[in-house]
Amino acid sequence: MESRFVADDAGTWYVEQDLAFRLNEYDTYAVEQAILIKEQLGPDVEITVLSIGPDRVVEALKRALAMGCDRAVHVQDAEVHLKDPWQIAGLIAACAQPGSFDLILTGMQSQDRGSSQVGPLVAELLGYRCATTVVALDYADGIITAKRELEGGERAIVRFSTPAVITCQSGLNTPRYPTLPNIMKAKKKELLAIPVGDLPAAQPLCVTTSLHPPAVRTGGLVLEGDSADLAAQLVSILKEKTTALQ
């Protein structure tokens, strides 16, 4: 999404007015994967979708319900943007008491803060196994076989049993577009609202001190001459001043 971000008065987040919000892309893979597992295992599987944030996240929860989740939990927190991943993970873990869920799926990262830490921290707090950046997943008899995306295009296949936390990377699946009957059914599904104050609060481990757009770089370099000469110049600049050709 193309947007104009402006730092807020505190200089630690951006002004949210005039911005459009949607379900975090990586979370859509998590929602889809949960529904695929439910479709595989049958109607006994129950999917709860959880979001922490201001009232607008209800729209995202409704979208997840329309896709096929069974119930939603909205942890109401108008100041969620001030919380660090540790605090977010703590809130999720408080809602997902050990034993109440076999599998927790999250996005690989959020599209705003992008810490990639919440999933692993939830696993740690609950004492669950964890696989991150999952691009393929197979579930059979409590055993999960997951393909993980590693650095440099490598893939790793890991196998583990539930309970577990999975963080979902793009490529895992193609999230479905909600059908109209499901959108209508979703209006009747349970949507539990929990004020964030009702959950145990943790102290932040890291604090955002400043949020600002990158400094504007000064003008680029325009090379001139014939094309063979230009290529040579470009290669030497890339070699000397960048790591692109090393």
Partner 1 sequence: MYALAAAALGCCLWGFYRRVRVYRRGKPLDRRDHIPRRLWMALRDTLSQARVLRVLGPGLFHSVFFWAFLLLLLGTLLVFIQADFTDPLFEARFLKGDFYLGFSLVLDLAGLVALLGLLGLLVRRFVLRPTGLETIAADYVAHALLVSILLTGFLVEGVRMAATEIPTDPGLALFSPIGDLVGRAFTGLDPGRLASVHEALWWVHLVLGLGFIAVIPSTKLRHLVTTPAKYFFADLSPKGTLATIDLEDDSVEQFGAATVADLTWKDVFDADACTRCKRCQERCPAWVTEKPLSPMRLVLDIGEVAFGDSKVNLPDKIGEDAVWSCTTCRACEEICPARVEHVTKIVELRRDLTLMQGAFPGEEVRLAVENTEVNGNPFGASPASRADWAAGCVSPPSRNGSPPDILYFVGCYASFDHRSQDVAKSFVRICHAAGVDVGILGNTERCCGEPLRKLGNEYVYRMLAQENIEAIIASGATRIVTTCPHCFNTLARDYRQLGLDLPVEHAATFVDRLVRERRVALQPSSFDVTYHDSCYLGRYMDIFDEPRAALTASGGRMVEMRLTGKDSFCCGAGGGRILADERLGTRISSRRVEMAAATGATLLASSCPFCLAMLEDAIKTTGLEENLRVRDVTEIVAERLEAASPTDGIGDGHEDPCVRETGSGHGVPVRRG
Per the CB < 8 A criterion, the answer to whether 148 and 133 are in contact is yes
Which of 162, 126, 124 lies closest to 144, judged by CA? 162
Nearer to partner 1, 184 or 235 (CB): 184
The one-letter amino acid at 22: R
Minimum CB–partner distance for residue 201 and partner 1 (Å): 32
Q: By C-beta, is 3 or 210 nearer to partner 1? A: 3
Least gap, CB of 182 to partner 1 (angstroms): 9
Question: Do residues 35 and 176 make contact, with C-beta atoms less than 8 angstroms apart?
Answer: yes
For the bound state, the minimum distance from the C-beta of residue 225 to partner 1, rounded and expressed in Å, comes to 29
Question: How far apart (Å, rounded) are the C-alpha atoms in residues 115 and 111?
Answer: 9
Question: Nearest distance from residue 21's CB to partner 1, in Å?
Answer: 7
CB 102 within 8 A of CB 144: no
Nearer to partner 1, 158 or 183 (CB): 183
Residues whose CB falls within 8 Å of the CB of residue 31, separated by 6 or more in sequence, listed in order: 23, 49, 64, 67, 68, 69, 105, 175
Angle between helices 118-126 and 85-95 (to 10 degrees): 50
Question: Closer to partner 1 at the Cβ: 181 or 219?
Answer: 181
Least separation in angstroms between residue 99's CB and partner 1 is 34
If the CB atoms of residues 21 and 160 are measured against partner 1, the closer one turns out to be 21
Give the residues lining the site for partner 1 (CB under 8 A).
1-4, 18-22, 176-181, 183-185, 187-188
